Amino acid sequence: MPAYDDDLPTDEEEALLRRLTDNTEREERFRALIEFKNLILGSKRCKSAFFRVGTLDMLYNLLKEYSLPIDSDILIQIFDCISSFAKSTNKNLTQRLIELGFIEQILLVLIDDQQSKLFYESALRCLRSFFLSKKFANPYLSPIPFILLCDQNKFEPKSSSIIIDKSPSSYKLSPVEILFSNSQSLDILHRLLSISKSTQISVLEILCCACVDNQRQQEIMGKDFIPMIMHLLIENIFYHKRIHLVTLANEYLIEVCLKFLCSISYENPSIAQQLYSTISSETNQSLCEIVASLLKKINRSMIISYYASKFFVNLCKTKVLSCDDPYVSHQSLASLIHLCAKSNQNQCIYLYIECLDTLIYLLNGNSSLHHTAIYTEQLLSQLFNYLFTPSKIFGENLDETAIIQIRSSALTLLAVLSSHHEDIKKRIAEQENLITTAIECYRSSNLSLQIASLRLFHGLSRSVHQLRTTFNDTICDILLDAIKSSDLALVKIVSSVVSNSVLEFSICRTRLLSGGILDILLTFLTHSDQELSINSIWALRNLSYLSTLKIKQDILNGLTIERIYSLLEQCTDKQFLICLLSLLRNLFNEKDTEILLPMFNSTKLLSTLERLLKKNYPGEIHREVNFLIDYLHSNNHPTQKRLSSDSATSSCRSSLFPEYDCDEMDQLDCS
């Protein structure tokens, strides 16, 4: 790709700029603007060259000059020029557009309600260009950080609202913040929504990008856009009762309507519930029925099918719909699988990546859908194709970035599918060349492939059988290498794999210990990242289960008795505390009690535990505390009957594996 950073306007282009700045005659300026627009449209060189000589400042002055009073013909040409600049990939250029105040000025012009349809269409297209810029991408339209989940987390999940960068350099000058800083902006967009198909598309795309968090979603929802969206859908969907077919008047408008519904409902239970309860006054249909009708035709636009499916996925993930609701389990899931396995000729690979990522989002934590998803083998077969031979499917000229993305998504979806049911784990792990390919992906230089491969190992590590068979020395070496990485995301996901891999029946355990994993885990206990710290105490808890006296002593020496007491008294993280209590219970195995318990001073430990019982902790913590108290009492009074130690150690082990019970760590496995 040629670079134009050092280019300057040619003599002819300089002359054109002088005509724009020096000549105040309206018609001459109008003609000069048209010539200027034709020069910059599609030309990276011209945009870069004009930017270097301060043309944006000149363009902003022209915008203000012809806004009072409004000269619609000239402003339309200016809007087109601004729009072209806003689509530039030059970050300095797009940032300068924001700094100069183009968005505020365009919104100011749009207050006037006496202009032509062409004027509003041009102004909104220009405004939309700022929001669709890659520099100011909406994080709500991107995949959320991946956390491998279980169906029934023993601790409530934390809010998954995306936090965007609010530093002065990015937050205050983002198009979304500028839009919401004007109290009239949403009212203006609401008014312009009814002018034409073009304004409807522009307004909806702007609103999609404005749904950056729950607060902004609520503000948009408060302006009553939903009835108008429903009207647009109904207006463009025709149901033929005789032949039971749905035809569409304007596919692209429907795509944008559905995209808006997905954006405004994403990770927002309140809005998702409102949408679920919305009934059309025109047809007496629910919004869900209207959207579901778009999934019934096999040859529907892939994008419409994708967004209609994603809408129901959002309702499911916000718990408005259960995962076994027909909208989810029959229509949405089936459509997404069909899209992933559809003929790939002449299709956009990024749509397939989006479909895979949405399946990841849906199936992660909803294991009851896993068998349905792989029932026909269609999905698994395609995932293996995407992973092993993507270039054969999409063509040899496929962009390397796209290949990496689709392979990463395929690996991650395989990780989700392998995280729960033992038969699915076995089917995936036994796929020829899968483990070898996952190892190669980790050894690549690409971080997303490395993380995706570790996610697969994490899913498989939840199986006793896989820990005893698949996790060979090569995988152990990968875990030891990854946990020393400087990348926090990589370290957090590998710490989750290690947490399962140090169990007494894992063939990795000895090699991990000889590789220094204990010292590394002890170091992570004081890490500033809370999730990594919790993963580490969880791993130590697992390592202590049925371990030798030497390992238990090493754990205690690393933690220190003083620090354990301090944590019991002062720890405010309930997840960390329950792991610490379980660790103590594992340490006090009957055969080692006489050696380890005196190190604690049983009287002091008993009083500390009794104080914990008086605090307002969840039942799981009180249960662990009671087990320890009972153990101490029975040790001091051997004739006293103890609570069943078998049940205690059994839950300690089986809770690690979803096929037996819920894995408490599932909510903590972060990437």
d(CA 530, CA 422): 30
Nearest to 161 by CA among 290, 276, 271: 271
Strands 237-240, 245-248: pairing is antiparallel
Cα–Cα distance measured from residue 199 to residue 144, given in angstroms and rounded to the nearest whole number: 30
DSSP per residue, 393-404: HH-TT--HHHHH
C-alpha–C-alpha distance, residues 295 and 585, integer Å:
53
Residue 598 placed within a domain: yes
Please report whether residue 468 resides in a domain: no
**pLDDT category of residue 640 using cuts at 50, 70 and 90:** low
Q: What is the Cα–Cα distance from 671 to 657, expressed in whole angstroms?
A: 19
240 pLDDT exceeds 90? no
Instruction: Report yes or no on 82 lying in a domain.
Output: yes
pLDDT per position as a tens digit, 348-375: 788 899 999 999 999 998 999 999 999 8
CATH number at residue 54: 1.25.10.10
Cα 585 from Cα 628, distance rounded (Å): 6
Average pLDDT, the chain: 84
Structural domain count of the chain: 2
Query: Which of these, 476, 487, 417, lies nearest to 449 by C-alpha position?
Result: 487
CA distances from 254 to 200, 201, 232, 249, 619 (A): 10, 9, 8, 9, 49
d(CA 380, CA 341): 10
Choosing from 136, 151, 176, the residue where a domain stops is 136
Separation CA 383–CA 416 (nearest Å): 12
Q: Answer yes or no: is 501 within a domain.
A: no
- Identify the domain boundary among 116, 136, 156: 136
Q: What is the mean pLDDT of residues 57-70?
A: 92
Q: Count CA within 13 A, CB hemisphere, residue 616.
A: 0
Please report whether residue 171 resides in a domain.
Answer: no
Q: Is the pLDDT of residue 165 over 70?
A: no
C-beta separation of 80 from 30 below 8 A: no
Asked whether residue 58 is assigned to any structural domain, the reply reads: yes
State the residue for tokens 């990939």: 89
For residue 115, being part of any structural domain is answered with yes
Top mean pLDDT of 388-402, 438-452, 573-587 is at 438-452
Quick one: pLDDT at residue 646?
Answer: 40
What is the average pLDDT across 599-603? 85
More confident residue, 13 or 75: 75
Of 84-98, 290-304, 510-524, 596-610, the poorest mean pLDDT is in: 290-304
Report how far residue 556's alpha carbon sits from residue 518's, in angstroms, rounded to the nearest whole number.
11
Cα 479 from chain centre: 24
Stretch 260-285: mean pLDDT, rounded? Answer: 94
Give the chain's count of helices (H) and strands (E): 40, 2
Residue 129 has pLDDT above 90, yes or no: yes
Predicted confidence (pLDDT) per residue in 419-464, tens digit: 999 999 999 999 999 999 999 999 999 999 999 999 999 999 999 9
SS (H, E, C) 447-490: HHHHHHHHHHHHHHCCCHHHHHHCCCHHHHHHHHHHCCCCCHHH
Containing domain of residue 583, as a range? 547-635
Evaluate if residue 289 carries a pLDDT over 90. yes
Residue 77 inside a domain? The answer is: yes
- Rounded to whole angstroms, the maximal C-alpha distance in the chain is 106
The pLDDT tens digits for 469-489 are 999 999 999 999 999 999 999
* Sequence-ordered list of residues with C-beta below 8 angstroms from that of 535, at least 6 positions apart, any chain: 492, 495, 496, 499, 524, 665, 668, 669, 670
Q: pLDDT-based confidence at 163, cuts 50/70/90?
A: very low
Last-in-domain residue among 136, 161, 181: 136
